[in-house]
Amino acid sequence: MSSTPKKRWLPIGIALGVLCLVAAVMLRPKAPVNESYDRARLVEVMPLERAPLAPEISAFGRVEPKRVWQAVAELGGPVRYRNPQLEAGRLLPKGALLLEIEPLEFELRLAQARADRNAAAAQLTRLSQNENNLQASLELEQGRLQLTQAETERKQSLKQRSLISDSELDNQQQSLLAQRKLVQELENQLQLLPDDRQVAQAQLKVAEASVADAERRLSQTRVTMPFDGRVAEVSVETGQVVSANQVMVTLHGIDQMEIEVAVALHDMQRLLGSHSEDALRNRALSLQAEVQLDSGELSVNWDAEVVRIRESVDPNQATVGVVLLVKQDYQQLDLAQRPPLVKDLFVTARIRGPEREQVVVPSRALRGERLYLMDQQSRLRIEPVEVLYRRGDQVAVRGALPSDVDLVLNDLLPAVPGMLLRTEAEQ
């Protein structure tokens, strides 16, 4: 019964304690507050400026020789000679003899063709000499005809005076007719000579063509290097009988190499978009390129030329083929520092468009598709932009950007438009 009064006073004590605590908090003096103080954020800025920047894309491809030449047998026969240096991978100079097919049969054909040509030429010479002879004979016989005609006229006059007999006059007239016949035959022979000459000239041309064909066929027994190049493949041996249209040797040119790279359509649009409308209308593209080889610690670059763009698009990858050309001179190559480009070498290609003046910002200043700007009042402005292209750490953007503002480089969390900013120089 004695503990009951204590329990009654316990709630009253707790209530008085809470009341005293609330009163102490409410009656505590407040700390002085500076109402003009604003928590300005420290930022790093740079001027927002326009600068020339060229779009650049990267693509990959394999090296292929621009010139690939196959020695196809134009005639059949046994291989009499094969160059000892004719091995895959060897470099051979222009004009080097590679293979020779047995030429005996074709040498005989050439000798026969030359004999026929000489015979046709001799026939034409004989016709010319015969014409000269006939012309001289005709002149002589025509002179005799005039004499015979005069003698006949004289005897006719004598006959009228009965000084000669009829038989003597008849004999003279027969001599005149015989002389006229001889002159007529000579004239007929001379008239036929132009036709005979045309036939002889045609025969001579046929003979000369046969000689040229025999010489060409004989030259086809020898296979020589058409240019300085590398032997890619050899498929014949000495003594082997080859047939017409058989591929004997495959050669690769070494002075010009091509690389076809697959460029995405949006990357191609980026390159073309950096050109002016006049350049696109006149198809005067200004693209620069370089090829890079990376292998371990080795990194080598070659200047390249964009020579053509393929006519079709890969429907599976949505890419278009761009062909690059690299020229190289083996005589000036330092093989210890710069290896030559060879077939199937995997390289990286970088293609650049022309430079155009754009708003260029560092990539670390881009916040998605927005930029943080600090205006003249040191207040934050957030502006949307369109990313045109990137090149390294630089980004070309486009948007309705104000002037006389600075670009904020570092990130702000949270970023509230209008918030007060400060820089190191303002501290």
Model pLDDT for residues 181-215, shown as the tens digit of each residue: 888 888 888 888 888 888 889 999 999 999 999 99
- How do the domains of the chain map onto residue ranges? 42-52+357-423, 55-94+226-354, 104-221
3 state DSSP class of 54:
coil
Which of 12-16, 129-133, 367-371 has the least mean pLDDT? Answer: 12-16
Pairing of strands 68-72, 77-82: unpaired
Question: Domain 42-52+357-423's class?
Answer: mainly beta
pLDDT digits (tens, 9 = 90+) for 24-71: 766 665 545 434 335 788 889 999 888 888 888 899 999 999 999 999
Instruction: Give residue for tokens 């980004």.
Output: 395
């004499």: which residue's tokens?
147
As a whole number, the mean pLDDT across the chain is: 86
Those residues whose C-beta lies under 8 Å from the C-beta of residue 277, and which sit 6 or more positions away, are none
Burial 244-257 (b: 16+ CB within 10 A, else e): eeeebbbbbbbeeb
Phi, psi of 3 (to 5 degrees): -85, -15
Token pair 């025999």 is found at: 214
**CATH class entry, domain 55-94+226-354:** mainly beta
**Region 389-414 average pLDDT:** 87
| Tokens 């991978």 belong to residue | 89
Structure-token match 């001289």, residue found: 136
Residue with tokens 């502006």: 383
CA dihedral 133, 136, 138, 139 (to 10 degrees): 180
Of 261, 264, 270, 263, the residue nearest 304 (C-alpha): 261
**0.85 cut: is pTM over it?**
no
